[in-house]
A and B are shown apart, each in its own frame.
Chain A
């Protein structure tokens, strides 16, 4: 069995892992290693041939592949080891990492710090509770994207898309361009799940209809999908009897949500936030276990890769500081709480002694609201405010708080969004 000692091991070579590894190296970490399960770096970006990436990070519109390439090129200028086609099978609580691949067999890695960057996975048809038979032709949007963009195959002729999240919208356009007839996008909720720009560019431009408060309730066909039943739902998301409609199709594309991939986090028994479904992290993106950091969609599903990279950088820098003993690990944490119309905030807690000049807060609202103000409070004291014309649940909000303002009183921070 091969045994390796490293300073930082980064699990996952997608956007979060790339940014984390580079930043850890930049901050003076000697031995950084990325473990990547695929044969190349970039993660899911490899199959994202559409543009819309990098507006925040690089100030221009890039395809997913180009965005990843920027990081991969930078990575190549550093001495960072990448284990390709390698998968982590287990992490022990003493931070021993077991990984494996074809050439080395089982590898036992002893890192001083770990950065978890495994990304997320797609919800399946069972988790969306679609009834009926289980024929072929029911695929998640990411799988369809892989078949079309990477492997060069079309999985059907006539498609129905369930879910109006960004992946569903992107795939509506992609399939149309490839000659698959897209019969409609169906969304359980009463408002779209994806970014407004994607609705305009992927649906409106191609005359694809979006059906809100409507969902797929049943699949038909014992062998190959022959059709689906859709139905309208009421405000409690219950099916309205009599609105059922049969649609003949041979492909049902599921874009019904993403779930942070936390099998390894669970092995470490990290504290998990039920709202984000990812590990609870602090201002350094360090988890409940000292020396174990998390970055990107493992923490919560972000809607822009730019944010994912940013969290990677924070975690990478955090790991470097941890190794240099520059982090105060004793100070009491200050919690950050979700106030009015906020569903979650990342990070969930901070240590004042470890803060740099700015503290970025990532959060989502529960409900759509117009003419609002984001406020960050210490008790009654509003330490930060910003106006937003409109806030929507699918669009993550990022506010950078000047840390000079934090910590006047030793009390939790509360993030609220209110009409003004």
Chain B
């Protein structure tokens, strides 16, 4: 039945009808696709087409394309090396991936008497999509009604207020503004208002998410002008989602991880999962490049690699297709130019499946433009191309034509871990006991993170009803001093207490030596220049580390007691210095 529908749509869609695609459907309604096509975009298009067929639970897309060469991963040699080494460890829960989801789950589970190990292949936590995120805590309005995303987005947004107090990270709620320039849009939004006020929207399925979103306001032309006087042109009106928040995404991730650690969780960085072994249909051992870890529960939060981790336990029922998103940051000279993340109706390309794409603001007040959404076959493709910036500039231009291209201080990209249903997959494996999928987490993954933690907590508790709560659980966390935010008097006191806070290392962002030493000696130590940057902001300003880079490198070398030549920019082999000039 489903198979026929799938074949039918593949044969009746121009551009792809000439391909020979193998289709098989499991009893769980998972469609597996095979075949060879010309271009990667066809692979992605076919995946989406099939995922949208009614009744399809998800798509395993094994189609290859002639324009890309994806190497088959084989970990056999590395697995053997670990087994030969013979290092064994034990715990209750292994969490794979220390991004925002993994860290949130670690914190949620750290309330219980569970031995938790979080494994991260990179040299730092949050180093993938989390750090390259625009920091928006979406109101939940745009998520497709009925999806898991929609539910967790609303819940997560709500949980952020308390979370930011508990974990001492900065959360602002400037709201999110959509403005419109044509009369027809004004009418549309009047209808929306009517549906909301009367409650009639509940009767229309596609409006349900909107009906559930709190804090919606309709602004007149004057109110828009008053709120954001620098917006381009003279908008006829605006739609304000007051619950929209902004955070520094890495800070949230880090706060969650630090609190989990305070409650006994262990984070192992530079630790890559090579294989997962089962016994009697339940997870048993996780093999990494360092050790073999026996455990009862494995939580797969591996982002773009979630499908490959699922394959290790023979429960891959989704394929992650990486989608790159590029972001540009504007010089803080423009601080205050725009205070509300804003968009103009009809400006961003809604043909893709990720949200965003507009002008946002960071908690520090930098304008942030983007992100883009570009399908790529390469899970490590964190490049930014000219076309990305063109798209970003176009988004920015929609909001204001005053901010120029040369005010951009940096641009970067991250990879969204999208599946073909374009929804979150959070569930206990139906095939392997103790294995929990947390996959397809893309936007609004940051906004949903607290709710993702809560949901996985419930799944774990359901699986093991004997789990007890910790008596000495620490629910709050206090961050180390942020020098630039203190009054002059408090700054003076802090320097008297610890003179390291009296030496400025990053002058663009006013970051002191004390803060960098704090970062290097933190519970999750910053061992690279970028890791220091993420924790302290050193190097995030307009000179982009030109001045402070060598000084940060020196502090890392000194604090970690390693040679300068072993300090990296971003972990791995990203050494900054090749050798001593007179050695």
Which A residues are closer than 8 A to B by beta carbons? Answer: 1, 37, 85, 87, 89, 98, 100-106, 108, 121-122, 124-127, 129, 131-137, 139-140, 142-143, 146-148, 151-157, 178, 218, 222-224, 250, 263, 266
A89 with B504: CB separation less than 8 A: yes
The A interface, classified by DSSP as helix, strand, loop or mixed, is mixed
A106 with B488: CB separation less than 8 A: yes
A101 with B384: CB separation less than 8 A: no
Contact residues in A for B576 (Cβ distance below 8 Å): 136-137, 139, 155
A interface footprint on B495-508 (CB within 8 Å = 1, 0 otherwise): 11001101110011
Is B317 interfacial (CB-CB < 8 Å)?
A: no
Complex Cα gap A73–B547 (Å): 27
Nearest-CB distance from B552 to chain A (Å)?
A: 12
B502 with A103: CB separation less than 8 A: yes
Contact residues in B for A266 (Cβ distance below 8 Å): 333
A85 with B389: CB separation less than 8 A: no
A/B interface sample: 18 pairs, CB < 8 A = A98-B488, A100-B495, A102-B499, A105-B492, A105-B495, A106-B489, A108-B488, A131-B385, A133-B383, A136-B568, A136-B576, A147-B550, A151-B564, A153-B580, A154-B577, A155-B577, A222-B380, A222-B382
Q: Which of B385, B508, B546, B581 contacts A153 (CB 8 A)?
A: B581
Is B406 interfacial (CB-CB < 8 Å)?
A: yes
A37 with B504: CB separation less than 8 A: yes
Nearest-CB distance from B348 to chain A (Å)?
A: 22
Nearest-CB distance from B423 to chain A (Å)?
A: 29
Contact residues in B for A125 (Cβ distance below 8 Å): 544
Q: Which of A106, A132, A147, A157 contacts B491 (CB 8 A)?
A: A106
Residue of A nearest to B333 (CB): A266
Residue of B nearest to A156 (CB): B578
Contact residues in A for B503 (Cβ distance below 8 Å): 85, 101-102
Contact residues in A for B496 (Cβ distance below 8 Å): 105
Is B473 interfacial (CB-CB < 8 Å)?
A: no
A103 with B510: CB separation less than 8 A: no
Is B575 interfacial (CB-CB < 8 Å)?
A: yes
| Known A105-B491, A106-B492, A131-B384: A121·B547 in contact at CB below 8 Å | yes
Q: Which of B389, B508, B573 contacts A224 (CB 8 A)?
A: B573
B406 with A127: CB separation less than 8 A: yes
Contact residues in B for A152 (Cβ distance below 8 Å): 580-582
Complex Cα gap A261–B419 (Å): 47
Residue of A nearest to B486 (CB): A106
Nearest-CB distance from B120 to chain A (Å)?
A: 16
Complex Cα gap A224–B571 (Å): 10
A interface footprint on B281-316 (CB within 8 Å = 1, 0 otherwise): 000000000000000000000000000000000000
Contact residues in B for A224 (Cβ distance below 8 Å): 572-575
Nearest-CB distance from B237 to chain A (Å)?
A: 34
A223 with B502: CB separation less than 8 A: no
Residue of A nearest to B489 (CB): A1
Q: Give how many A-B residue pairs fall within 8 Å (CB-CB).
A: 132
Contact residues in A for B508 (Cβ distance below 8 Å): 263
Q: Which of B541-583 contact A (CB under 8 A)?
A: 542-544, 546-547, 549-550, 554, 564-565, 568-582
Contact residues in B for A263 (Cβ distance below 8 Å): 507-508
A143 with B581: CB separation less than 8 A: no
Chain B interface residue count, Cβ-Cβ cutoff 8 angstroms: 54
Is B411 interfacial (CB-CB < 8 Å)?
A: yes
B409 with A136: CB separation less than 8 A: no
B408 with A127: CB separation less than 8 A: yes
A134 with B412: CB separation less than 8 A: yes
A133 with B577: CB separation less than 8 A: no
Complex Cα gap A87–B511 (Å): 11
Residue of A nearest to B503 (CB): A102
A154 with B580: CB separation less than 8 A: yes
Residue of B nearest to A125 (CB): B544
Which B residues are closer than 8 A to A by beta carbons? Answer: 333, 380, 382-386, 389, 406, 408-412, 488-489, 491-493, 495-496, 499-500, 502-504, 507-508, 510, 542-544, 546-547, 549-550, 554, 564-565, 568-582
Rank and list the top 8 A-B pairs by shortest CB-CB distance, nearest first: A136-B569, A102-B502, A136-B574, A102-B499, A105-B495, A106-B492, A105-B492, A124-B544
Told that A136-B569, A146-B550 touch, could you supply 9 new A-B pairs with CB distance under 8 A? A1-B489, A89-B510, A105-B491, A105-B496, A121-B543, A124-B409, A155-B578, A222-B380, A224-B572
A102 with B543: CB separation less than 8 A: no
Contact residues in A for B488 (Cβ distance below 8 Å): 1, 98, 106, 108
Nearest-CB distance from A127 to chain B (Å)?
A: 7
Complex Cα gap A263–B509 (Å): 11
Contact residues in B for A105 (Cβ distance below 8 Å): 491-493, 495-496, 502
Residue of B nearest to A151 (CB): B550
Complex Cα gap A133–B384 (Å): 7
Contact residues in A for B380 (Cβ distance below 8 Å): 222
Contact residues in A for B383 (Cβ distance below 8 Å): 131-133, 218
Contact residues in B for A218 (Cβ distance below 8 Å): 383
A154 with B409: CB separation less than 8 A: no
Nearest-CB distance from A14 to chain B (Å)?
A: 13
Complex Cα gap A91–B356 (Å): 38
B546 with A142: CB separation less than 8 A: yes
Complex Cα gap A103–B492 (Å): 10
Contact residues in A for B581 (Cβ distance below 8 Å): 148, 152-154, 178
Complex Cα gap A154–B579 (Å): 5
Nearest-CB distance from A182 to chain B (Å)?
A: 14
| Known A106-B491, A131-B385, A222-B380: A153·B510 in contact at CB below 8 Å | no
Nearest-CB distance from B568 to chain A (Å)?
A: 7
Contact residues in B for A140 (Cβ distance below 8 Å): 546
Complex Cα gap A101–B492 (Å): 10
Nearest-CB distance from B139 to chain A (Å)?
A: 31
B579 with A143: CB separation less than 8 A: no
Complex Cα gap A140–B408 (Å): 17
Residue of B nearest to A87 (CB): B504
Nearest-CB distance from B270 to chain A (Å)?
A: 13
Complex Cα gap A133–B508 (Å): 24
Complex Cα gap A135–B580 (Å): 21
Nearest-CB distance from A387 to chain B (Å)?
A: 36
Complex Cα gap A135–B569 (Å): 8
Complex Cα gap A152–B333 (Å): 35
Contact residues in B for A106 (Cβ distance below 8 Å): 488-489, 491-492, 495
Nearest-CB distance from B308 to chain A (Å)?
A: 18
Contact residues in A for B575 (Cβ distance below 8 Å): 136, 224
Contact residues in B for A148 (Cβ distance below 8 Å): 581
Q: Which of B383, B389, B554 has the most CB of A within 10 A?
A: B383
B574 with A223: CB separation less than 8 A: yes
| Known A121-B547, A153-B580: A135·B574 in contact at CB below 8 Å | yes
Complex Cα gap A215–B385 (Å): 15
Contact residues in B for A153 (Cβ distance below 8 Å): 564-565, 577-581
Contact residues in A for B550 (Cβ distance below 8 Å): 143, 146-147, 151
Nearest-CB distance from B64 to chain A (Å)?
A: 23
A143 with B510: CB separation less than 8 A: no
Complex Cα gap A131–B411 (Å): 9
Complex Cα gap A67–B492 (Å): 37
Complex Cα gap A1–B488 (Å): 8
Q: Which of A85, A133, A139 contacts B382 (CB 8 A)?
A: A133
Nearest-CB distance from A167 to chain B (Å)?
A: 12
Contact residues in A for B410 (Cβ distance below 8 Å): 124, 126
Complex Cα gap A121–B576 (Å): 20
Contact residues in A for B333 (Cβ distance below 8 Å): 266
Residue of A nearest to B565 (CB): A153
Residue of B nearest to A153 (CB): B577
Nearest-CB distance from B494 to chain A (Å)?
A: 8
Complex Cα gap A146–B545 (Å): 13
| Known A100-B491, A151-B564: A126·B577 in contact at CB below 8 Å | no
A121 with B578: CB separation less than 8 A: no
Nearest-CB distance from A131 to chain B (Å)?
A: 5
Residue of A nearest to B549 (CB): A143
Q: Which of B382, B554, B574, B578 contacts A154 (CB 8 A)?
A: B578
Complex Cα gap A137–B572 (Å): 13
Contact residues in A for B500 (Cβ distance below 8 Å): 102
